[in-house]
Structures are given as C-alpha cells and as structure tokens.
Amino acid sequence: MGGDEWKPFAERLGLTPKEIRYLEKRVLNPCDAALAHSRNQGYISSVGDLYDALVDCELPLIADLL
C-alpha cells in the first residue's frame, strides 16, 4: 500500500489517529508497523481477521493474495 491508503486500513486495525500520525512520522513502513501493532494488541488474531479488514477497506485484491 502506498501513499495514504494505509491510514484507513490502520484505523480499521484498531489504531488511534494519534498512533497513525506517530507511525507516519517515525517509521519507514507505517503499514507494516500498523500490522505488527494490531497483531501485538490482539486486534488481528487470524488471517480471516486480516482478510475482513482488507475487504472492509475496499482492498479485495490485496485480500485475495492472502
């Protein structure tokens, strides 16, 4: 995901706007960091959860790659 596409996805993963801003400014790959954070917090606990989050964010082509 490039540009700002990762932000609604990160929000869907359970990150707060403050956490999203932090990742945007502090890490090289904020989408990857958002995934790791959501996994560590228990927001995403299975591939099915990740699939549903991607589809909810209108990213079904990425979801189908899982």
Residue 24, φ and ψ in degrees, nearest 5: -60, -35
The model carries a pTM of 0.78
CB 15 within 8 A of CB 40: no
Two structure tokens written together for 4 = 């700002």
Condensed to tens digits (0 to 9), the pLDDT of residues 6-60 reads 899 999 999 999 999 999 999 999 999 999 999 999 889 899 999 999 999 898 9
CB 9 within 8 A of CB 57: yes
Is it the case that residue 63 has pLDDT exceeding 80?
Answer: yes
Contacts of 66 (CB under 8 A, 6+ apart): 47, 50, 51, 54
Tell me the residue type at 29. N
CB 46 within 8 A of CB 24: no
